[in-house]
Amino acid sequence: MSKTEQTLSIIKPDAVERNLIDEIKKIFLSNNLEIKDSKKIHITKDEAAEFYKVHQSKPFYSDLCAYLSSGPILVMVLEGKNAVALNRELMGATDPKAAGENTIRKLYGISIDKNSVHGSDSLDNAKKEINFFFQN
C-alpha cells in the first residue's frame, strides 16, 4: 500500500545558478509530486554544517558545507504517494555519471559534489529536514 508522504527537496547552488528551477520543478509536478511549500534562501556555512551533520566524519564534509552555502538554494516540501522514494528515484544516483537516464542528476548534475539536488533518504529524515527549514 502506498501512502502519502512529505519529503524535503533542495535545488542546490549549481542548478539555481544555471536557472534550472523551473525545469526541475516540472519533473516533480509531472510525476505526481505537489510542491506544498518552497523558499529561496542563502544559508551560512554553519547552517549547512548543522543540516549535513550526519556526514561530519566524511572527508567531503567541509567542502560539502562550503558548497551548499556558496549561493542561493531553493528548499521545497514535496508531497505525494511514496514521496521519499519517488523523489530519490527522480533524482538518480549521487554521482551524475552513475545516474539513470532522465533522472535529474543525469540531466543536470555536473559532478558528484555539484549534483543539483538533495532529497531526504528516509521518512524519518524527511520529517527532521522539513522541520529544519520550515518551522510552523
> Looking at beta carbons only, is 1 or 20 nearer to ligand CDP?
20
Partner that binds at residue 21, options ligand CDP, Mg ion, none, CB closer than 5 to 8 Å by kind = none
Q: What's the closest the beta carbon of residue 93 comes to ligand CDP, in angstroms? A: 7
Q: Is 83 helix (H, G, I), strand (E, B) or coil?
A: helix
Rounding to the nearest 10 degrees, give the CA dihedral for residues 60, 120, 78, 110.
30
Of 121, 120, 96, the closest CA to residue 107 belongs to 96
Binding site for ligand CDP (CB under 6 A): 55, 60, 64, 94, 112-113, 115, 118, 121
Q: What's the closest the beta carbon of residue 18 comes to Mg ion, in angstroms? A: 22
Partner that binds at residue 36, options Mg ion, ligand CDP, none, CB closer than 5 to 8 Å by kind = none
Q: What's the closest the beta carbon of residue 33 comes to ligand CDP, in angstroms? A: 17
> Looking at beta carbons only, is 89 or 135 nearer to ligand CDP?
89
Q: What's the closest the beta carbon of residue 49 comes to ligand CDP, in angstroms? A: 13
Q: Is 134 exposed, middle or buried (0-12, 13-18, 19+ CB in 10 A)?
A: middle
List, in sequence order, every beta strand (DSSP E) within the chain: 4-11, 34-41, 73-81, 117-119
φ/ψ of 120, rounded to 5, equals -55, 145
Q: Are 6 and 85 in contact (CB under 8 A)?
A: no
Q: Is 55 a catalytic residue?
A: no
The one catalytic residue among 118, 119, 120, 126: 118
Catalytic residues: 118
**What does the binding site for Mg ion look like in residue numbers (CB under 5 A)?**
121
